[in-house]
Structure 1
Amino acid sequence: MEQDVVDRAVTGDEHAFAELVEPYRRELRVHCYRMLGSLTDAEDVLQETLLAAWRGLAGFERRASVRAWLYRIATNRCLNAMRDAKRRTPPEPVPPFQPPEPSRRSEITWLQPYPDALLAGIADAAPEPAARYQTMEAVELAFVSALQRMPPRQAATLVLRDVLGFTADEVAEMLATTPTAVKGALQRARAALQADTRTPRPEPEKERDLGRRFAEAFTSADIDGVIALLTDDAWLSMPPAPHEYHGTAAIAAFLRVSFTHRSDLRVRLVPTKANGQPAYGVYLGEPGSPAGLFVLTMAGDRIHHIARFHTDALFPRFGLPVTLSGTPRPGVRTARRRGRFLR
């Protein structure tokens, strides 16, 4: 059946081409996101991939499956994009107050969250037998961030082999290299991931409770309440700002400055899901204006990482309204508190 669709698509039948690639669109977008760390870039590269596939369909030799052929195009488009410094480096926001000296300045400022709604259908599919990671764990922020710190071809090899389950020969074909080179790159990538291991996440009910308590403490400007929920080695990041605050003392110092920046400002947190993790859209003022999106990484019975993404334009992708006013909907945490986070 697929070969018949390919035959019709090769003749220029656009409907046949759409039928051919549509089953892979969602998983290709997730693949591009893992490689690039940015939903915006992933969607751009996905369109480039599909256009390249349409233009190159006549050269499809059918030695590999359509899926493998599309992944080869997508992976190489991602590798090209990763060489583009303009695509990778968003402008650094200017804080409205003088923040404390950060513990570190991250080089990975292009990272964006990924809506769970876009994982529907993919997350439920069984991974290939050779895959080491489930879909949901392979889209968590810690995993995607670790990929961004690897050399690009090393990251590509890890994703293609351990997440998607392609064979070493298939990956060698996609990357125009040898199975021996694939094996070496995979070993180095796995070693790098082992260095980033952390405590397993809590059960879903416990995770939801931690998220709820964080939202209550944050909207109440309760610094001690927030800190009590964190691991000793917790850290705070704010892409695309490079500032990182590591350890509870550094996080508390930042929150203290942030919470005192403005007085009598209404703050509401609306729950959503990102990267398979608890997330909250932040709204400031009345009516509420988007002011970033929290994604919480849990470890054991505490929060290990607070990521505050300044990606207000992406709110609709997470099912979040562009403004918030009137009576809070169920699950919304609201309070009048002092201050705001870095915008």
Structure 2
Amino acid sequence: MTDGTPPGADKAAFIAAARSNDTAQFALITERYRRELQVHCYRMLANYEDAQDMTQETFLRAWNGRASFRGHAAPRTWLYRIATNACLDFLDKHGDRAPGPAGPPGAGSEVHYLQPYPDRMLPEDPQEAVVARETIELAFIVAVQHLPPRQRAVFILRDVLGWPAPKAADALELTVASVTSALQRARVTMRGRLAGRRLDWRRPATHELSDDERDVVKSYIDAHERNDLDGLMALLRDDLRFTMLPDPGALVVSAEDAVDGWVSSGLFRPGYDDWRCVATTVNRMPAAALYLRRPDDPDHRLFTMAVLRVVDGKIIELTGFDATGKPWLGLPAAL
């Protein structure tokens, strides 16, 4: 089938590189799709490192299968098909890559393999549907993980990327009827897990943080650096959802429980009271990178990242990630 894209220089160059067996030229042409393919793999897998691996696997499969590219579809379509199936193969082999016991709608602790996505690695074109804020935020990524793998692939191809049903069916080797049925079931699940949020994922949306978000992350950093537990508490909504990943089962669903947990774990006590923080963004969400200085260390070392969802000037979701040993976050290891 064709995808409606007229033949052009890009497709001709792609075919020429594939037929010439020129590894360097083929890599040069496919590289331009790396960032958007990696975001696609991330939506499928919710894990940045796995998305990196599957993007590389996509390019390897594309090179090995280059003879199968006949130019009937655009190079982008062909690569997305390969990437989708690489992710499906990954999920088939990893039985642990599924959410645990169901929690409250929007809860994230079941997806213990969730990792943040650094904004600096997103595609640069702000008009691309692939980087719409609503489809890269943590809650959306978590909700997608509650779909069975093939249903997940159908949903992403159809409702996020906007592929027509025949095109998605061709990519997944399914019938159009199967794709339509899978999409209907996926939409029911997504609406249930993202209740109260905007569900028109392909409509243009802002990518910028609001003034409220900027102010809250600034106040969060200030309270942390001053060891001000009351100040932190004042930023939290009573119905806060907090989880610390990758620890399984760490979800708490109230501000009081979250603060009690922080106190019992020693937050702001000696050894956990010398903080410096850096404002950043991941998944197009406000975040703070937290650096801790131990008594015997002259430097503040990168410790955790707190990703915040802000509603009406307060934090309603706080997802903490272990930030050590993750250079891809693009943060200095020490301050």
Same topology, TM > 0.5:
yes
What is the RMSD computed on CA atoms of the aligned residues? Answer: 2.3
Cα distance in 1 for partners of 2:108, 2:280 equals 28
Identity among equivalent pairs (%)? 38
Change (3 A) 1:112 1:171: same
Work out the number of aligned pairs and report it.
Answer: 303
**2:195 counterpart residue number:** 197
Which residue of the other structure, out of 261, 271, 274, is the alignment partner of 1:266?
A: 274
Cα distance in 2 for partners of 1:15, 1:105 equals 41
**1:54 counterpart residue number:** 63
Query: Which residue type is aligned with residue 218 of structure 2?
Result: R
Query: Which residue type is aligned with residue 253 of structure 2?
Result: H
Cα distance in 1 for partners of 2:320, 2:25 equals 42
Structure 2 unaligned regions, length at least 5 = 1-8, 99-106, 199-205
Cα distance in 1 for partners of 2:108, 2:21 equals 50
Cα distance in 1 for partners of 2:303, 2:277 equals 10
Which residue of the other structure, out of 306, 330, 334, is the alignment partner of 1:319?
A: 330
**1:107 counterpart residue number:** 110
1:161-193, CA deviations, whole angstroms, 9 ceiling, x for partnerless residues? 111111111100111101111111111211212
Cα distance in 1 for partners of 2:210, 2:42 equals 25
Q: Is the 8 A contact 2:221 2:277 kept in 1?
A: yes
Which residue of the other structure, out of 241, 247, 250, is the alignment partner of 1:241?
A: 247
Say which is worse superposed, 189-198 or 65-74, in terms of deviation: 189-198
Cα distance in 1 for partners of 2:133, 2:109 equals 25
Which residue of the other structure, out of 300, 319, 324, is the alignment partner of 1:307?
A: 319
Q: Return the offset for 1:39.
A: 0.6
Q: Return the offset for 1:69.
A: 0.8
Cα distance in 2 for partners of 1:226, 1:250 equals 13
Q: Return the offset for 1:63.
A: 2.1
**1:221 counterpart residue number:** 227
Say which is worse superposed, 71-80 or 305-314, in terms of deviation: 305-314
Q: Return the offset for 1:261.
A: 7.6
Change (3 A) 1:117 1:109: same
Q: Return the offset for 1:199.
A: 5.8
Query: Which residue type is aligned with residue 296 of structure 1?
Result: L
Q: Is the 8 A contact 1:35 1:78 kept in 2?
A: yes
Which has the higher relative contact order, 1 or 2, with Cα contacts under 8 A spaced 6 or more apart? Answer: 1
Q: Is the 8 A contact 2:304 2:320 kept in 1?
A: yes
Cα distance in 2 for partners of 1:39, 1:126 equals 20
Change (3 A) 1:87 1:26: farther
* Helix, strand or coil at the partner of 1:150: coil
* Helix, strand or coil at the partner of 2:86: helix
Provide TM-score, normalisation by structure 1.
0.82
**1:294 counterpart residue number:** 306
Q: Is the 8 A contact 1:81 1:87 kept in 2?
A: no
1:88-140, CA deviations, whole angstroms, 9 ceiling, x for partnerless residues? 49xxxxxxxxxxxxxx9933111000011011414x1343xxxxx86222110
* Helix, strand or coil at the partner of 2:33: helix
Matched, 1:277 2:285: yes
Q: Return the offset for 1:300.
A: 2.8
Structure 1 unaligned regions, length at least 5 = 90-103, 128-132, 325-343
Change (3 A) 1:105 1:321: closer
